[in-house]
Amino acid sequence: MKSLETISVLVLAMALSVPSFAAGKNQGSFTLSNQARIGSTDLKAGDYKAEWTPQSGDSVKVDILKNGKVVATTTGKVKNLDQASRQNAVVLRSLDNNTSTIDEIDFSNRREALVLGGE
C-alpha cells in the first residue's frame, strides 16, 4: 500500500512539472541597450522577456514583458538557426524617423530565434 502511495505522488509530481517545462520552452530573456520599437510601442532600454504562443500556420503571438507585465504584443515567426546562438542578441532596423524597430531576437544557447513583424 505504501508503494502505491509513493507511485501516486511521483506521477502527480511529474504531471504538474510537464506544463511548467513546456511553458519555459517558448520564452526567453533579452536586453535592449537603447530604446526600440515593437509595433507602435516604444520600449526603453532595459531587460525584457519574450513569450510566444503558436497561432495559425507558422505564425506566433509574441508578448513582451517587463517586470512580469505585458508591455507590447506583436506577431512573428520562430526561425531555426543552423547552430545555437552564442549570446542573446537583438537585431534592430533603423526607421526613417530616427528610431529603431526590433526585427529579430536570438537567445543564448538556443537554436531558435524570433523574427518579429506582421502588424
pLDDT per position as a tens digit, 7-18? 433 333 334 433
**Do residues 46 and 32 touch, judged by C-beta distance below 8 A?**
yes
Tens digit of pLDDT for each residue in 35-86? 999 988 999 999 999 999 999 988 999 999 999 999 999 999 999 999 999 9
In a domain, 15, yes or no: no
Structure confidence at residue 20 (pLDDT): 35
Whether 10 is covered by a domain: the verdict is no
How many domains does the chain divide into?
A: 1
Residue 74 domain boundaries: 27-116
In this prediction, residue 52 carries a pLDDT of 97
The whole-model pTM stands at 0.76
46: left (phi over 0), alpha (psi -120 to 50) or beta: left
Helix (H, G, I), strand (E, B) or coil at 60: strand
Interval 18-41: pLDDT, tens: 333 344 589 999 999 999 999 889
CA 118 to chain centre: 16
In a domain? residue 97: yes
Domain assignment present for 22 = no
Asked whether residue 58 is assigned to any structural domain, the reply reads yes
